[in-house]
Structure 1
Amino acid sequence: MNDRLQLPPPQLLLTIAALRDKALAAESLNALAFGIANDLYPLLRFRQALVFAQHGAQHYELLCVSGLAKPQEDSPYLVWLRRAMRWLGPKVTGREPAWVARADLDPPAEVADGWAEWWPAGAWCVPLHGRNGERLGLALFLQDAPPPEPLLQPLQGLWSTWAYCWGTLSGQGKLRGWRPSKRQVLLGLAVLAALLLVPVRQTALAPAEIVSREAQVISSPIDGVIARMQVRPNQPVEAGTPLFTLDETTLRNRADVLRKEVAVADAELIAASQRAFDNPQSKGELTVLTGKAQQRRSELSGVLAQLQRTQVVSPRAGVAVYSDPNDWIGKPVSTGERILQVADPSKPAMRVELPVADAIALEPGARVTLYLAAYPLTPLEGKILETSYQARTTDEGVVAYRLLVSIEEGEGPERRLGLHGTAKLYGGRVVLGYYLLRRPISTARAWLGW
């Protein structure tokens, strides 16, 4: 009864607890291996301790030798250790520590000679396993006899702590990720290189709008102020339909003044003509007064001609295209300022604004697909008719090329003027590597200057 309740000495438990705390505080696998190889000496009194990390079934990496900060890789002892571990490692099976004695084994000559020279009678082997059961490492404590039985049970917790810390620090404690072999890496690189040589069609995306291929710009014929817009946006018009009217107040007032000036000039001319019969000096004034009267009549004719141009009519049949009448009523305009367009809705086309940063090599006749925002599931097909030579700044502040694209006949959504969407432009075929790296290469060349 007393033997069953006998507990380990308190000093032993405190020592093991301190070793477990030190293992938990290790910041790297090398620091943990150094503690395993050196900290247990007061309890086991071993001659030497070796700590190996296991990679695969036959490969053991020496991490630490007790008493040495860094072992020399080319020493005869370490060369023999590599051969000995390839033979001894598979002999240690199971998850529990085991005593391996030379007398119980029949090592080959190359291992037996080194064992007789460097190792004592046996080794206390402590395998360290991760949570998934895979062996992470092996600790060897070289001794003349196995550890005493009263010491083994308290040390079980220390073995588990070492295994847990080893798995945590090496990243192999719970799940071990797949690590490709060198052959698999080379094969993957070869497949990637082959994929980069696959030919693909070069494409670009750009905003687009449906416009008319035959649209005439209507501008202001004279300087003035728009009095009223006589058509609504997208209203069908015929040739001769009034579009907008300019305010006539200033011109009519000017015409009234000029009429009175013409009358005054005519009266002065008649009076001078009558005086010329009696006074020869008045004959010289006739030429000046005649020119002045003709000047006033010319000015009056010009104002009357401008009055006739305040009413702007449509030169052709089509649809009036502009934004909002309230944007124009009461707005001063100058001669030649664009007011609206009269477009033929029976001849729609796409106007594409291709940003310079996304520009690709395009030729007339290249295929274009338009995805309208209002009808995203029914795209329109077309071909490039013309491209602008120079890029210009759009209303959004983006420098872009303007492209005019035809719209093929056939079933599809309504081709109403003014609809917006995204156009996908198809260029020539290039390899996939160039398609993916075109933008980075262009940016790098602009930044590096070569």
Structure 2
Amino acid sequence: MTMNEPLPHPHLLLELDALRDKAMAADSLNALAFSMANDLYPLLGFHQALVFAQREHSLELLSVSGLARPSEDSPYLVWLRRASRWLASQVPDDNPVWLTQEAASPPQDIAEGWNEWWPAGVWCIPLHDREQERLGLLVMLLEQEPPAVFRDNLKGLSQTWCYCWAALSRRKGFRRWRPKRLQMLLVLAILAALLLVPVRQTALAPTEIVSREAQIISSPIDGVIARILVRPNQTVEAGTPLFALDETTLRSRADVLSKEVAVADAELLAASQRAFDNPQSKGELTLLGGKSQQRRAELAAVQAQLKRTQVLSPRSGVAVFSDPNDWLGKPVVTGERIMRVADPAQPAMLIQLAVADAIALEPGADVTLFLTAYPLTPLKGQIIETSYQARPSDEGVVAYRLLASIEGAPEHARLGLHGTAKLYGGRVLLGYYLLRRPLATLRAWSGW
């Protein structure tokens, strides 16, 4: 049966009824699109049928007649992406549109592809859901416009396609809820009331467990570290050797000064013996005696430094420092910190509260510490010390230094563990709690 011959109504209705059954039996959107693109060929004899799905502001090609799945980026499919956008603009509503190149006057790039791949006319059948939102577009390439009897009887089939498309896309029964004015006012009133609810102000900050009783061990003299005599986190007693400085330079200096003392004593003795026979030598005795005392004083100072090359622990505790290999052979100056001797029985929280997250805190404010190693057993405490000035931390973040106590004597509160502390401030309104940082940023940016 061709388009030039009128279609008998009974036969046409039977064929369209069979197509409706196939559409209702489709179990996926791709199966429905394949049926739409191929099953109308015995009735229309088109050159090609294309099924597009609406994707926001663009069309996605779902099926091409004669192909199982269009997946290759051929020149035709690349051009078809541009042509589909133009076709969608030519179909403003839900009525089918017959387009010819002469009547539609497409852009030049679309017209060039039309001359190469498409016949004289294009029949576009839009598919819409109940809310008149476009689901897709069926495009059939024909030599002439379909007869009126076919167009009139195809409306029922197109409605079936729309129904099945919406059902397979899970859009059936979807309705946009539009609240009434009274409902909107009620929601706004509830939100405004919630903003006035008082809540406790909180802040999060990185934290490390340190000792409240920790003594800094620094270098007593300038020198080079020769040996580290303890291991990190080793328990030490008072008087335990901690580290030793290199003595090579000091011992060489002591040997030289010892010989200089001997020479000065010999010169003083010789001048004393000459003074019995030569009265002029008596004037040299005072100078040589002072020189001898100077050399002895220098020797005593060097010997005192030699006794300080080995540093002992001033108290019992735990030696806290980094890897010993980082210190071996490193030159140090007087007063440079090498390690700390901390008392593990008096742990505390060292909190680095960033300036951007700072809240009003007073000594005695509650703190909860969630350790990374023990997240299910938080530590409780209170702030006992706050810094006046913010300084850059080891991570380069400008922060306030806070010290908090740890309640009880938990076994897992070991020195050196890290975690996140939650600090509790005073009660404020929920609106202030939520808008505090945005308002601070806005005022800093605007200068108001």
TM class, shorter-chain normalised? Answer: 0.5 to 0.7
Map of 2:417 onto structure 1: 419
Query: What is the CA deviation profile of residues 222-255 of structure 1, one whole-angstrom value per residue up to 9, with x for unaligned ones?
Result: 0111121122211111111111111111111111
Give the superposition deviation at 1:160: 7.8
Map of 1:430 onto structure 2: 428
Letter in 1 for 2:431: G
Letter in 2 for 1:194: A
Letter in 1 for 2:376: L
Letter in 2 for 1:437: L
The alignment yields a C-alpha RMSD, in angstroms, of: 4.0
SS at 2:275's partner residue? helix
Map of 2:268 onto structure 1: 269
1:28 to 1:392, Cα distance in 2 relative to 1, 3 A: farther
1:4 to 1:203, Cα distance in 2 relative to 1, 3 A: closer
Q: Could you tell me which runs of 5 or more consecutive residues in structure 1 were left unpaired when the two chains were aligned.
A: 14-21, 40-127, 137-149
Query: What is the CA deviation profile of residues 285-309 of structure 1, one whole-angstrom value per residue up to 9, with x for unaligned ones?
Result: 2222222111111100100110111
Letter in 1 for 2:305: Q
Query: What is the CA deviation profile of residues 368-404 of structure 1, one whole-angstrom value per residue up to 9, with x for unaligned ones?
Result: 0111111110000000000111111111111111111
SS at 2:89's partner residue? coil
CA distance in 2, matches of 1:164, 1:198: 53
SS at 1:278's partner residue? coil
Query: What is the CA deviation profile of residues 389-445 of structure 1, one whole-angstrom value per residue up to 9, with x for unaligned ones?
Result: 1111111111111111000005x4522111111111111111222222222222222
CA distance in 1, matches of 2:313, 2:403: 24
Between stretches 343-352 and 155-164, larger displacement belongs to: 155-164
Letter in 2 for 1:27: S
Map of 1:32 onto structure 2: 93
Query: What is the CA deviation profile of residues 24-76 of structure 1, one whole-angstrom value per residue up to 9, with x for unaligned ones?
Result: 945399x439x89x99xxxxxxxxxxxxxxxxxxxxxxxxxxxxxxxxxxxxx
CA distance in 1, matches of 2:402, 2:226: 36
1:354 to 1:4, Cα distance in 2 relative to 1, 3 A: closer
Letter in 1 for 2:331: P
Give the superposition deviation at 1:135: 8.3
Give the superposition deviation at 1:156: 4.7
Between stretches 338-347 and 437-446, larger displacement belongs to: 437-446
Listed as ranges, the matches of 1:61-80 within 5 Å are none
Map of 2:315 onto structure 1: 316
TM-score of the aligned structures, taking structure 1 as reference length: 0.65
CA distance in 2, matches of 1:289, 1:231: 48
Structure 2 residue 294 is the aligned partner of structure 1 residue 295: yes
Map of 1:253 onto structure 2: 252
Query: What is the CA deviation profile of residues 306-328 of structure 1, one whole-angstrom value per residue up to 9, with x for unaligned ones?
Result: 01111111111111111222222
Query: What is the CA deviation profile of residues 113-149 of structure 1, one whole-angstrom value per residue up to 9, with x for unaligned ones?
Result: xxxxxxxxxxxxxxx99644x689xxxxxxxxxxxxx
Q: Percent of aligned pairs with the same residue?
A: 68
Map of 1:5 onto structure 2: 8
Letter in 1 for 2:89: E
Map of 2:106 onto structure 1: none
SS at 1:349's partner residue? strand
Letter in 2 for 1:425: L
Map of 2:136 onto structure 1: none
Listed as ranges, the matches of 1:50-65 within 5 Å are none
Listed as ranges, the matches of 1:196-215 within 5 Å are 196-215=195-214
Q: Is the 8 A contact 1:129 1:163 kept in 2?
A: no
1:252 to 1:176, Cα distance in 2 relative to 1, 3 A: same
CA distance in 1, matches of 2:7, 2:441: 79
Give the superposition deviation at 1:179: 3.0
Letter in 2 for 1:423: A
Give the superposition deviation at 1:175: 5.7
Letter in 2 for 1:304: Q
Map of 1:334 onto structure 2: 333
Structure whose CA Rg is larger: 1
CA distance in 1, matches of 2:178, 2:7: 53
Map of 1:155 onto structure 2: 152
Map of 1:227 onto structure 2: 226
Q: Is the 8 A contact 1:26 1:32 kept in 2?
A: no
Query: What is the CA deviation profile of residues 160-200 of structure 1, one whole-angstrom value per residue up to 9, with x for unaligned ones?
Result: 879999xx9xxxx8664423234222222222222222221
1:355 to 1:3, Cα distance in 2 relative to 1, 3 A: closer
Letter in 1 for 2:260: E
Q: Is the 8 A contact 2:127 2:158 kept in 1?
A: no
Give the superposition deviation at 1:259: 0.6
Map of 1:376 onto structure 2: 375
Map of 1:386 onto structure 2: 385
CA distance in 2, matches of 1:25, 1:4: 29
SS at 1:375's partner residue? coil
CA distance in 2, matches of 1:4, 1:215: 101
CA distance in 1, matches of 2:177, 2:87: 28
Q: Could you tell me which runs of 5 or more consecutive residues in structure 2 were left unpaired when the two chains were aligned.
A: 13-43, 45-83, 99-125, 134-146, 166-170
